[in-house]
Amino acid sequence: MTRPVALALCLVAPVFIQSVSAQSEDRALTVIANNCGGCHGSAKMSGLSVETREALLAGGSRGPAIVPGKASESLLYKAVVRDGELKMPPGNKVLAAVDVAAVREWINAGATFGSTKPKASEPTWWSLRKPVKPAVRSIDGILGKAKPAADRRVLIRRASYDLTGLPPAPEEIEAFVNDKDPKAWSKVVDRLLASPRYGERWGRKWLDVARYADTGGYETDVLFPNSWRYRDYVIRSFNSDKPYDVFVKEQVAADEIWPDNLDLEGIYDLPESKRQSLERRLGTGLYTLAAMPVEYTLFGDQYRAEWQAEAAVVTANAFLGMTFQCARCHDHKFDPIAQKDFYRLGAFFAGSEDREIPIVSQMRIFEYTRYQTKQVAVDELRKKYAALKPGDKDGKETLLRQIGEAYVKTPLMYDKANLLVHTEPVPDTFILPRGDSMKKGEKVTPGIPAIFGKGAELNEPADGYFIPRRRKVLAEWLASRDNPLTARVMVNRIWQGHFDEGIVASSNDFGRQGEKPSNQELLDFLATEFMDKGWSVKTMHRLIMNSDAYLAQTKPHRLDAEEIRDSILSVAGALNTKMFGPPVVSPLAKDEREAMRDLSMWPVSGDATEHDRRSVYLFIKRAFRLPLLDTFDAPATDESCPRRESSTVAPQALALMNSEWASDQAVRFAKRLSASKDLIGDAWSLALGRQPEAAERAKAQEYLTRNSPERLCLLIFNMSEFLYVN
Amino acid sequence: MSINFSRRQFLASGLGFPALAAAAVDNPFASKAPQFPATAKNVIFLFMHGGPSHLETFDPKPILNTLHGQHVPPSFGSVQLQFSKFEQSTVLGVKRQFKKYGQSGIEVSDVFPHVAQRADDLAIIRSMYHDGFTHTAALNWLNNGWPRLGRPSIGSWLVYGLGSESENLPAFVAMLDGGIKSGPSVYSSGFLPAMYQGTQFREGPQPILNLTPPRGMKEADQREMLDNLRWFNARHAAAHPDESALEARLNSYELAFRMQTAAPELADLSKETEATRKLYGLDQAGTQSFGGKCLMARRLVERGVRFVQLWSGGTSGEGDWDGHKECDKNIVDMASRVDKPIAGLLADLKSRGLLDSTLVVWAGEFGRTPVCDGGMNGGGGPDGRDHNPYGFSIWMAGGGVKGGKVIGSTDEIGLRAVDDPTHVHDLHASMLHLMGIDHKKLTYPFEGRDFRLTDVAGKIDLVAKLKK
């Protein structure tokens, strides 16, 4: 031990040489269990367990952890005193001097276990222990007295944005403000929850987590022609208040849990039961829309390895709120997740793959293939066209017309979906050192990460028929009440959606590098309530929104990218509320088009009314992000996005002041107001949900003496009050 | 200074840097002191999209002409290539002539006659390497320090760490030449807040999106609108005194207004002297485009813009440096577009005293193979070369780098880096070091880990060699 450290420790805790009391032993073992047990308990990171004296004596990959009687020679002690190469616990979590002293004292006294044992039977990290229903069972009971409720106009605007992502209509505001019914507020909440706009808003939040996009990214940026079916599935799931455990199960393993739908491929027609199965199965689309370096994975089974690794990552991020990414290349340095755990999680997806399958009756497919002869006719004409002599204008014109006419007669492609299906044989899964698929390490079988204890059992016969149930095991474990994370992670996302910050601020990371819950009692109350109430997301909204905590004034936060675009369209009276369907490709301004690699990759939707649809239906191209949404922090879709940033930068001001799109909407808004008897009052009411104060009215009036209503409308779109919600 | 702060602190500010909301509301990218004295303040990253051949430019290998048409001796082993099979391909000779230039006598090929005149300013690193043999992986390696999508680009890291010295312009500017094969990831902020991403500058008088007020709105009209907006927004901000983002938003409109003037002023090259315009090749059709970009780069750096990324070649533009078919012809053509502009940039920076504080880096995502591109499925040809990330050349100048030297080497045939092999992580660590940043201490917490540009690697041995 170096002198300065020794001195520093002596100042706070004098060194004891005498034999250690049982109480001191208990103290040391508690320190060890709490600070080391997570990784060096059953997970045995680097081969070390701290659960028994024998295990400590045997040590791990670096040799024995303790030398009884000699703290200064014990690796465990040297690590916690951070004297040497190995510094533990990892990161900046330095043990308190008194704890270090307790460990030293205990080792010097012989490192006895006596009657006490490290409390290893129960996981030490809070998020791995199952949530316990607290004694106090209400949000306000746990949080204590809240500030007084906000004004009703503020409340309905907040509720409307929270649940639908759109501003309330003036009639809705007035109705609520004047409603004497004591249940007025809960009626508002219920009405908003029943709105189809709700699923669009909360579906979009889930799509952030699901790293949703319509193309594959990287150099090829291939089109995913069917990912929108997953997007629509998500919106429908939220709108129908699908129990969250079912939602999880469907995404991970609908085909294995409800195997009725396994024969969907090529059946004569789709009876209702099959349609329901198909709907569930669209959930597995989650695993068909990741950013994948297709061109980077042309070789051998690298693509397979990449896909499986990505499946493990998104499963951990989205459902468990755990970050497994690090364990792809090496044992996780901060969380007790071994590299093996990562590949075992991935192995649940071995034997599954993303496939595009028809979702229509076999007759519809025959209809298509029968008339493919018409496509052959087109191809023949195209060959002729290609062989034309340069300058043969007449021939060119004739052929173009013929090709056009022939092409129109070709059969339309039938509907397809990208879903998980099974492959046989099931490929083996190997640990890949440093994540490199060229170097295969140890072979692994599917399994739940060791930190979760025994968890789900998966017994597969060594040979014989392959029974597709790997993902089923995973899904049922994820969606079970015994899983300590699933419910907590989701209620935390819901809380974050209402309060802007989760109870656990790092909503995709409930591990040791993440934030601890600001109020675990509250989190556990919500999680247990969530499960008790049938995993109903809407019930959680009601619970939260009817609390005093919610009703009290909260700090303003900026609308997110989609809310800004949708609100402007809505206030301008131009929002097209059509739901579902293939992505809408909106037109780009001239200077925006320059950034496109190839304009044919941005096929603008022909029907202009489509351009005014909600942002959730817009085309999401990984290699080209829509500038308006991008500048307002729409998520990068390369990885799961747990929470939006909310930046304030000058290009946002330029976009709302100067873009053609903003001006066009201002013109529409002004047109909407043109028949108004009180233009300023109505503009305020539509955009801000209130009447202008006298000074504001005077200011606006004065502005209008020299400026057009269009300019006033544009100004309103740029107001902080319009862009923020309280 | 501590660049590393917790995510919670970060989110609490709602803006990026805890101090800036109150202290520097006018400029969310307020300049921050480096961790230790820097020799470079700004970077101009000249990126040759497609992968320029080192063998035809900065790494002479006369033996290739002797071996032309033969298979590579088995002692060289094999490497993984994207389109061709290394063992089946034969050596392709080099048609270029190399000559020694300057007092240092550095060898440069005849495709860069003007750049060669600046030989004594260049530190050529002939031993670059990484493992990404496709464009996407390699582009991300060089720009983001990682082969996959999702990581911040080096420009974003630098702006995150150092802020900007420009009040009226974005801190990180990218000027493209067509599309980029990996998409916008090369100037994106990855998991860093979006405000740190590169702003794409377009050619012509309106370099930034939405720079012109709506049709019919004159400057005075817009000023009036902004004054009115400010009145309303100030009332709103006053009602929420604890919300610094509202104050910042007020000021973002003023910055936007100033950018409307500053950006076109910046892009207006007409005030440059005839001599300067000629120096950059603006008077010739072939060099006009890249020359304009280089001149813009100087003007950006003059105005304190921290990181300028300048692209030659792109996917839907006028071709790039990806010489699969006729490598020699490709390099002659592409080099002719950038040679004079780059030489002009170096000369101009030097004469204005800017080269001392501006680090200029010339690179592509990889080099090319000594063997021809057999072209299994990539459209290669017997006169082409495949991608070679295992050994290639880049050069650096200015920003504290002492020129007139060659660092490292490839093997006899230019296949692999052998002496002083310099991984991309080492390059990035060194670039950060020259900017006054310890690459191990510029971190950002994301997904359970403090991330760095250099992942868990990166050596700075190179710095001493560059400065010597």
Residues from chain B contacting residue A659 (CB–CB below 8 Å): 209-210
According to DSSP, the residues that pair with B308 across neighbouring strands are: B44, B173
Query: So what's the pLDDT on residue A689?
Result: 95
Is the pLDDT score of B6 beyond 50? no
Task: Looking at the structure, tell me whether residues A48 and A104 fall in a common domain.
Answer: yes
Q: Report if residue A55 sits inside a domain.
A: yes
Q: Report if residue B23 sits inside a domain.
A: no
Assess contact for A476 and A494: CB atoms under 8 A. no
Other CB atoms closer than 10 Å to residue A704's CB: what's the count?
14
The beta-carbon neighbor of A624 closest among B178, B183, B215 is B183
pLDDT single digits (tens) B423-456? 999 999 999 999 999 999 999 988 777 899 999 8
d(CA B28, CA B163): 8
Query: So what's the pLDDT on residue A233?
Result: 98
Task: Looking at the structure, tell me whether residues A76 and A171 fall in a common domain.
Answer: no
Is the pLDDT score of B19 beyond 50? no
Please state the rounded mean pLDDT for residues B198-211: 83
| C-alpha A253, offset from chain centre | 18
Q: Report if residue B1 sits inside a domain.
A: no
Share of chain A above pLDDT 90, in %: 53
Name the residue of chain B whose CA is nearest to A215's CA.
Answer: B183
Task: Looking at the structure, tell me whether residues A10 and A109 fall in a common domain.
Answer: yes
Interface test mutation site (partner B, options A510, A591, A620, max chain B beta carbons within 10 A) = A591
| Poorest-pLDDT segment among A4-13, A488-497, A605-614, B166-175 | A4-13
A101 by DSSP, 3-state: which? helix
Name the residue of chain A whose CA is nearest to B260's CA.
Answer: A654
Answer whether B289 touches A (CB < 8 Å).
no
Please give the residue range of the domain that contains residue B273: 31-205+268-467
Answer whether A260 touches B (CB < 8 Å).
no
More confident residue, A582 or B206: A582
Taking CB atoms and an 8 Å limit, are A219 and B181 in contact across chains? Answer: yes
Q: Report if residue B248 sits inside a domain.
A: no
More confident residue, A129 or A436: A129
The beta-carbon neighbor of B256 closest among A334, A622, A654 is A654
pLDDT single digits (tens) B215-248? 889 999 999 999 999 999 999 999 888 777 788 7
Is the pLDDT score of B12 beyond 50? no
Answer whether B263 touches A (CB < 8 Å).
no
Element of type H or E holding B393 = strand B392-397
The rounded radius of gyration (Å) of the Cα atoms in chain A is 30
Answer whether B168 touches A (CB < 8 Å).
no
Residues from chain A contacting residue B256 (CB–CB below 8 Å): 650-651, 653-654, 657
Taking CB atoms and an 8 Å limit, are A653 and B252 in contact across chains? Answer: yes
Q: Of A557, A529, A553, which is closest to residue A542 (Cα–Cα)?
A: A529
Determine how β-strand B172-175 pairs with β-strand B307-312: parallel
Is the pLDDT score of A513 beyond 80? no
d(CA A479, CA A217): 31
| Poorest-pLDDT segment among A505-509, A577-581, B337-341, B391-395 | A505-509
Task: Looking at the structure, tell me whether residues A105 and A143 fall in a common domain.
Answer: no
The CA-atom distances, in angstroms, between A725 and each of A698, A712, A719 are 24, 21, 12
Other CB atoms closer than 10 Å to residue B319's CB: what's the count?
17
Task: Looking at the structure, tell me whether residues A68 and A160 fall in a common domain.
Answer: no
Residues from chain B contacting residue A657 (CB–CB below 8 Å): 210, 213-214, 222, 225-226, 253, 256
Query: So what's the pLDDT on residue A616?
Result: 98
Q: Sorting pLDDT into bands at 50, 70 and 90, what band is A459?
A: low
Q: Sorting pLDDT into bands at 50, 70 and 90, what band is A265?
A: low
d(CA B274, CA B264): 20
- pTM given for the model: 0.80
Average pLDDT, rounded, for chain A: 86
Domain total for chain A? Answer: 4
Assess contact for B63 and B327: CB atoms under 8 A. no
Residues from chain B contacting residue A332 (CB–CB below 8 Å): 448
Please state the rounded mean pLDDT for residues A656-662: 95
Is the pLDDT score of A120 beyond 70? no
Taking CB atoms and an 8 Å limit, are A293 and B195 in contact across chains? Answer: no
Residues 6 or more apart whose CB falls under 8 angstroms from that of A121 comprise: none
Task: Looking at the structure, tell me whether residues A102 and A142 fall in a common domain.
Answer: no
Q: Report if residue B212 sits inside a domain.
A: no
Assess contact for B202 and A594: CB atoms under 8 A. yes
Residues 6 or more apart whose CB falls under 8 angstroms from that of A27 comprise: A102, A106
> For the domain that residue B40 is a member of, what is the CATH number?
3.40.720.10
pLDDT single digits (tens) B30-73? 788 899 999 999 999 999 999 999 999 999 999 999 999 999 98
Name the residue of chain B whose CA is nearest to A511's CA.
Answer: B448
Answer whether B461 touches A (CB < 8 Å).
no
Residue B404, phi-psi category: left (phi > 0), alpha (psi -120 to 50), beta (remainder): left
The beta-carbon neighbor of A646 closest among B14, B176, B188 is B14
Give residues 233 to 252 of B whose Cβ lies within 8 Å of A: 233, 235-237, 240, 242-243, 245-246, 248-250, 252
Q: Which DSSP string corresponds to B219-255?
A: HHHHHHHHHHHHHHHHHHHHH-TT-HHHHHHHHHHHH
Element of type H or E holding A542 = helix A537-545
Query: So what's the pLDDT on residue A178?
Result: 96
The beta-carbon neighbor of B210 closest among A334, A556, A654 is A654
Task: Looking at the structure, tell me whether residues A147 and A79 fall in a common domain.
Answer: no
Please state the rounded mean pLDDT for residues A224-253: 98
Please state the rounded mean pLDDT for residues A650-675: 95
Last residue of a domain, one of A539, A555, A571: A555
Name the residue of chain B whose CA is nearest to A656's CA.
Answer: B210
Query: So what's the pLDDT on residue B11?
Result: 30
Query: So what's the pLDDT on residue A220?
Result: 82
Please state the rounded mean pLDDT for residues A359-371: 87
Q: Sorting pLDDT into bands at 50, 70 and 90, what band is A452?
A: confident
Task: Looking at the structure, tell me whether residues A90 and A21 fall in a common domain.
Answer: yes
Last residue of a domain, one of A55, A90, A119: A119
d(CA A378, CA B104): 65
Taking CB atoms and an 8 Å limit, are B253 and A298 in contact across chains? Answer: no
B80 by DSSP, 3-state: which? coil
Query: So what's the pLDDT on residue B14?
Result: 27
Task: Looking at the structure, tell me whether residues A21 and A115 fall in a common domain.
Answer: yes
Query: So what's the pLDDT on residue A20?
Result: 43
Q: Sorting pLDDT into bands at 50, 70 and 90, what band is A460?
A: low
Please give the residue range of the domain that contains residue A146: 134-194+499-555
Domain total for chain B? Answer: 1
Give me the torsion for CA of B63, B69, B74, B75, rounded to 10°: 0
Task: Looking at the structure, tell me whether residues A90 and A172 fall in a common domain.
Answer: no
Residue with tokens 């759109």: A166
Q: Report if residue A18 sits inside a domain.
A: yes
Average pLDDT, rounded, for chain B: 88
The beta-carbon neighbor of B209 closest among A505, A654, A721 is A654
Is the pLDDT score of A93 beyond 90? no
d(CA A693, CA A670): 20
Is the pLDDT score of A6 beyond 80? no
Is the pLDDT score of B22 beyond 90? no
Assess contact for B39 and B467: CB atoms under 8 A. yes
Answer whether B219 touches A (CB < 8 Å).
no
Looking at CA atoms only, how far is residue A379 from chain B in angstroms? 24
The answer to whether ipTM exceeds 0.95 is no
Is the pLDDT score of A458 beyond 90? no
Interface test mutation site (partner B, options A657, A660, A667, A712, max chain B beta carbons within 10 A) = A657
Is the pLDDT score of A298 beyond 80? no
Determine how β-strand B385-388 pairs with β-strand B358-364: unpaired
Residues in chain B: 468
Please state the rounded mean pLDDT for residues A514-535: 94
Q: Report if residue B39 sits inside a domain.
A: yes
- Tokens representing residue B163 in the block: 């802020």
d(CA A198, CA A191): 10
Task: Looking at the structure, tell me whether residues A31 and A104 fall in a common domain.
Answer: yes
Is the pLDDT score of B254 beyond 50? yes
Q: Report if residue B459 sits inside a domain.
A: yes
Please state the rounded mean pLDDT for residues A144-158: 90
Query: So what's the pLDDT on residue A639?
Result: 85
pLDDT single digits (tens) B96-116? 999 999 999 999 999 999 999
Assess contact for B394 and B363: CB atoms under 8 A. yes
Query: So what's the pLDDT on residue A9?
Result: 32
d(CA B322, CA A28): 63
Residues from chain A contacting residue B193 (CB–CB below 8 Å): 633, 645, 647
Last residue of a domain, one of A119, A145, A180: A119
Q: Report if residue B409 sits inside a domain.
A: yes
Q: Report if residue B93 sits inside a domain.
A: yes
Interface test mutation site (partner A, options B139, B159, B192, B210, max chain A beta carbons within 10 A) = B210
Give residues 483 to 522 of A whose Cβ lies within 8 Å of B: 501, 505-506, 508-509, 511-515
Apex B2 CA angle, B1 and B5, nearest 5: 155
